[in-house]
Structure formats: C-alpha cells, structure tokens
C-alpha cells in the first residue's frame, strides 16, 4: 500500500493519450458581447495531478494560464452589465420570456459541442474522476433544460388574471438587476451554472467570476456565451478576488450576490456593499453535516452510505458527512466494516476506471488536513485505519479519526477533505446537542428502522437543519428539491424552480374592472402589444 501511495503519480508519457490536454493559454475574455484579447499579467494553472519533471522531481502538471485582471477590467465588465440592464429598460430585461428561453437553448447547444474539452478540464483542474466530471457536465445540461421547463410552467401559471374586489391583476416575475455570480471549485461548472442560468433567464445581466480552481474550463466557453446572448448580458472576469470583486461590491451597483463558498468570504463581500438593504444574496456556505447511526440501524446500509457520504470526491462536497455519531452498542462492528469498505476504495489518477480517491487541488489542503489529524491525535484520538493520513504531494489517503471530542478542531472545523471524525454516543441527547449547538445547519443523516425514534428525532432536527435524510447520505439532489441551510450554511433557497424565484421579484399589472379598462387590456392582449401583459402559452 505504502509503495502504491509513493508511486501514485505518473510520468508524462504514462498519461493516456485519450485523456491528455495541451496547455490552454486563455488570453481572451467576454466583454459587452465581444471577445477581447487580454493584455497584462497571467496566472499559471497547475493540476492536482503531479508528474515527473526533467530534474527527476514530481510537480503539479502545468495546464495553462488565465488573465489576472485589474480593477479597471472588472469596472468595464460592470459597466457593460449595467448598460445591458439599463436600469430595467435594456433589451434583455424587457425581452419576451420565450425569446430569453431561446437564447438559453441556443447556449445549451453550444455548450454540448464543448463537452469533451470541458469534461477533461474539470478532471485536470480539480482532480475529479473522469466519470464524475462527465456526470457533472450532464447534470448541468439537464439542470438548464429543467430550468427552461420550470420557467415555462411559471409563466403559464402566472399568465391568467386574478380578480378580487373589482381589481384585475396579472402577477408575474421581473428581474432584479446586475448579478455577480461566483461558484465553488468542487463543482466548478454545475454550481456556477445553477445560479448563472436562472439569473440570466429571469432577465438579469451577469458578471461571473470562476472559482480559484476550475477557471480554464470556463475560458473555453466564452465563445458559446457570445454566440447566444445579446451584448453585455454575460461578462466574465478572472483574477484575484480582492482585486476584481471587492471594487464591484464597493460600487454599490451589484444588485444580487450569488456566491457559493465560505461564510467568511460572503460576509466580507456583503459588508463592502454601501447599501446592504439593496443587495439580495443567494449563498451556499459552510456545513458540517452529521450522521447519527442509531442502535437499530441496518449496519451495512449505514456503512455504505456513510463511506460515500464522507468520501465522494475526497470529501470535497459541502453536503459531505463531516462527523459520524455511532451508537456505543455496535461501534466496534460499525468501525470494522467502515474501515474495510474504505480499504476497498480504489485510489489513483482521475482518469482510471472506477477510481474513487484522487489528488486534491493544492498542497496546502493536505497540510491543513494533516494539522487537523495531528491536533486530534495530540488530544487523545487515534487514526484507526491502516495507512490513514499517509500522503504523497497532493494526495492524502483517508484517515478515520476516533474518538473525536469537543476539544478537538475536528469537532467543529469543516475539514472538506478525506478525514472522517468518528465519535460514539449512548444517549441520543449527545448527537442532538451537537447539531443544535453547531454553527452550521445544512443537513443531517439518521440511520434507523424504528418509526418512533425516527419520528421523534426528525421532529427536532427539521428545526435545526434544512434536510433530514433517512438511511442515506446527505446530498443536494435531485435538483428539483429545495437546497438551503440555516445559520452559517446558506441564505436563500436553490432548486430548479426556487432559483427562478430568488433571482426575480413579483411584479404585477393591475386595473379596476371598468368596461373601458377591460376593452383597453383586451386590445393589448389581442395585438400582443406588451411583452409583460400577455396571456401567451409557451409550449
């Protein structure tokens, strides 16, 4: 095993041809509908995958570079987005819903043409397995198509007139303004688009900044955006957040902040806005989801779900199970099976068939995770799986740490990596207290077959978190379900249909039901004179 970890990384010539990519020099960006050549400094991009260099040392594979923009660049992007929105008078915010849908459908066609390169770049830039990178791409396409259907449904339902107390009203939804979209590195395509697409389709204009890792995959899509949307509707910025994002927020001209990342950064960004009451925020933030395994649980189901829940994409999911509470009566059997299941997980390079554990984007992540393990061990916990915590460069073999106690960093810190803190309980009060007092409130998993226990626990837990999962890991999907959280975990709700709501506001057209008014409105509808006042049925 140690040998396998030591020899994990390939030589350049051992990389299978079908998966290899040439370095991408991304020297163009999208501004006001035009693809502009960038002049300035660049940021080099390296993969989590390390390869042997000429001097016989392993180093992260070079993938290319992207523009390190300045404040001036981001100001230009903001101006373009503001002009395209034109205080709600622009072509895009006043366009018929059907026409906006057509632009988004055109974009999906363009996006599909780029599947091969985008999937490869997800894999190379963040180290996600090839099959999971493919799944991320397909899930994104499906999400966009579902969004289109959800908008049609929303439009159909709101096209009828409501009559009350002699007032006739058509209640619809209108855009909010300029949206700043920033997605996370663990789902660089999917989670960026789960805010970007609903924001666009509702008539907002967008500035979007890719995450720290997973930038190049967005640079190959600028042409697809340029071909699909009117000028200024989508604008991309790249570079250091402090330089390019800070000034945008300080300008007070961002109407919606759509951000998926840490609550610390979200707070910094929100505080920069001079008129916070004008800013809407749609945030997906930190989480420390717990699994509570009761004494009557089906151990095999619990083990399987907890291993996937804790280790899919090396635990780099906001929904990952980040602490496990196992009932004392069968903790030994559970732990034994859990450790065995981990030993069966294939680790290696992301292109390998069936690989489950892969390298992480930064060497610093490995150091950070090791410091969490060290802290727990110093305070009395043990690594209970063989080779747990062994590392090589950007790769860390999963460590199961037991028993984790209140005074250890792993008790509260969101590890976001392959370290699994375990603890046991006799009284259900202990895991409940943990969830109740946690700073986070995203999801929880309970494992049990007892209807009474499940009901009692769920009734309390639904007031602590926003999703209680029975006998399964925590997860965001299916995407039609609401995805949100309490406390430091989220602001606003995302799902295919909820996202359309968070990026828009209800607006209505109302009139007193006089004969004259009815005649006038009938004429507007017949002649299709308004884009808002309309009873069109979008097929």
Chain residues that interact with ligand G3H, rule: CB under 6 A? 186-187, 191, 317-319, 475-477
Structure tokens that stand for 254 in this block: 């961002």
Selection from 161, 197, 274, 196 nearest residue 535 by Cα: 161
Of residues 191 and 255, the one with the C-beta less far from ligand G3H? 191
Of residues 100 and 317, the one with the C-beta less far from ligand G3H? 317
Of residues 244 and 474, the one with the C-beta less far from ligand G3H? 474
List C-alpha distances in Å: 521 to 244, 354, 462. 47, 61, 46
Of residues 489 and 534, the one with the C-beta less far from ligand G3H? 489
Q: Both ends of the chain: CA-CA distance in Å?
A: 58
Shortest spacing between CB 367 and ligand G3H, in angstroms: 22
Of residues 101 and 122, the one with the C-beta less far from ligand G3H? 122
Of residues 311 and 399, the one with the C-beta less far from ligand G3H? 311
Selection from 461, 364, 468 nearest residue 416 by Cα: 364
Shortest spacing between CB 284 and ligand G3H, in angstroms: 6
DSSP string, 338-377: HHHHHHTS-BS-TTSTT--B---S-HHHHHHHHHHHHHHH
**Is residue 370 within 8 Å of 30, Cβ to Cβ?**
no
Shortest spacing between CB 360 and ligand G3H, in angstroms: 14
* DSSP annotation of 7: T
Q: Name the residue with tokens 């062994």.
A: 390
Q: CB under 8 Å to 4, separation ≥6 — which residues?
A: 347
> What gap in Å lies between CA 309 and CA 499, rounded to an integer?
25
Q: Name the residue with tokens 């007070």.
A: 252
Selection from 305, 280, 281 nearest residue 291 by Cα: 305
Shortest spacing between CB 483 and ligand G3H, in angstroms: 7
Q: Hey, which residues does 465 pair with through a beta bridge?
A: none
Structure tokens that stand for 131 in this block: 């099959």
> What gap in Å lies between CA 111 and CA 386, rounded to an integer?
44
Shortest spacing between CB 139 and ligand G3H, in angstroms: 8
Shortest spacing between CB 4 and ligand G3H, in angstroms: 27
**Is residue 254 within 8 Å of 273, Cβ to Cβ?**
yes
Of residues 65 and 476, the one with the C-beta less far from ligand G3H? 476
Shortest spacing between CB 358 and ligand G3H, in angstroms: 15
Shortest spacing between CB 433 and ligand G3H, in angstroms: 26
What length does the chain have? 539
Shortest spacing between CB 146 and ligand G3H, in angstroms: 14
Of residues 170 and 194, the one with the C-beta less far from ligand G3H? 194
Shortest spacing between CB 200 and ligand G3H, in angstroms: 20
Structure tokens that stand for 271 in this block: 């505080």
Half-sphere exposure of 290 (CA within 13 A, CB side): 29
Of residues 477 and 513, the one with the C-beta less far from ligand G3H? 477
Of residues 82 and 494, the one with the C-beta less far from ligand G3H? 494
DSSP string, 70-112: -HHHHHHHHHHHHHHHGGGTSTTTTS-HHHHHHHHHHHHHHHH
């Amino acid at each position: 095993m140690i040998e396998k970890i030591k020899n994990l990384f390939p030589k350049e010539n051992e990389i299978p041809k079908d998966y290899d990519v040439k370095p991408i020099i991304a020297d163009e960006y999208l501004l006001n509908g035009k693809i502009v050549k960038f002049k300035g400094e660049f940021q080099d991009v390296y993969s989590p995958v390390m390869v042997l260099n000429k001097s016989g040392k392993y180093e992260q594979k070079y993938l290319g570079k992207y523009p390190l923009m300045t404040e001036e660049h981001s100001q230009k992007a903001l101006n373009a987005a503001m002009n395209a929105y034109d205080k709600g008078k622009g072509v895009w915010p006043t366009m018929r819903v059907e026409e906006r849908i057509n632009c988004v459908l055109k974009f999906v066609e363009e996006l599909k043409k780029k599947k091969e390169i985008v999937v490869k770049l997800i894999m190379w830039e963040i180290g996600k397995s090839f099959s999971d990178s493919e799944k991320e791409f397909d899930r994104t396409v499906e999400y966009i198509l579902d969004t289109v259907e959800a908008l049609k449904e929303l439009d159909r339902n709101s096209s009828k007139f409501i009559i009350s107390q002699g007032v006739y009203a058509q209640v619809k939804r209108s855009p909010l303004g300029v949206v700043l979209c920033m997605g996370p590195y663990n789902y660089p395509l999917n989670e960026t688009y789960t805010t970007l697409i609903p924001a666009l389709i509702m008539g907002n204009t967008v500035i979007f900044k890719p995450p720290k890792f997973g930038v190049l995959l967005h640079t190959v899509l600028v042409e697809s955006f340029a071909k699909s949307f009117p000028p200024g509707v989508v604008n991309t910025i790249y570079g250091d957040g402090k330089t390019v994002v800070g000034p945008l927020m300080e300008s007070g001209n961002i109407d919606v902040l759509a951000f998926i990342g840490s609550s610390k950064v979200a707070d910094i960004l929100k505080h920069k806005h001079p008129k916070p009451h004008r800013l809407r925020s749609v945030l997906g933030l930190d989480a420390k989801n717990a699994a509570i395994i009761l004494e009557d649980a089906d151990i095999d189901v619990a083990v399987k779900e907890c291993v996937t829940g804790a280790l899919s994409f090396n635990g780099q999911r906001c929904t990952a199970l980040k602490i496990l509470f196992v009932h004392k009566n069968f903790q030994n059997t559970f732990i034994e099976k859990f450790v065995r299941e981990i030993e069966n997980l294939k680790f290696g390079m992301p292109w390998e068939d069936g690989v489950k554990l892969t390298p992480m984007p930064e060497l610093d992540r490995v150091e950070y995770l090791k410091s969490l393990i060290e802290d727990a061990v110093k305070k009395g916990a043990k690594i209970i799986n063989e080779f747990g915590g062994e590392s090589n460069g950007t790769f860390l073999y999963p460590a199961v740490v037991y028993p984790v106690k209140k005074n250890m960093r792993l008790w509260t810190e969101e590890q976001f990596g392959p370290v699994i803190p375990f603890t046991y309980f006799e009284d259900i009060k202990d895991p409940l207290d943990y969830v109740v007092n946690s700073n986070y409130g995203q999801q929880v998993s309970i494992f049990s077959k007892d209807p009474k226990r499940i009901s009692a626990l769920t009734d309390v837990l639904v007031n602590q978190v926003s999703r209680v999962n029975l006998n399964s890991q925590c997860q965001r999907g299916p995407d039609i379900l609401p995805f949100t959280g309490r406390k430091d975990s989220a602001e606003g709700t995302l799902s295919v249909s909820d996202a359309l709501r968070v990026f828009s506001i209800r607006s209505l057209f109302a009139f007193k039901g006089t004969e004259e008014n009815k005649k006038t409105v009938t004429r507007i509808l017949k002649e299709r004179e308004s884009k808002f006042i309309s009873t069109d049925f979008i097929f």
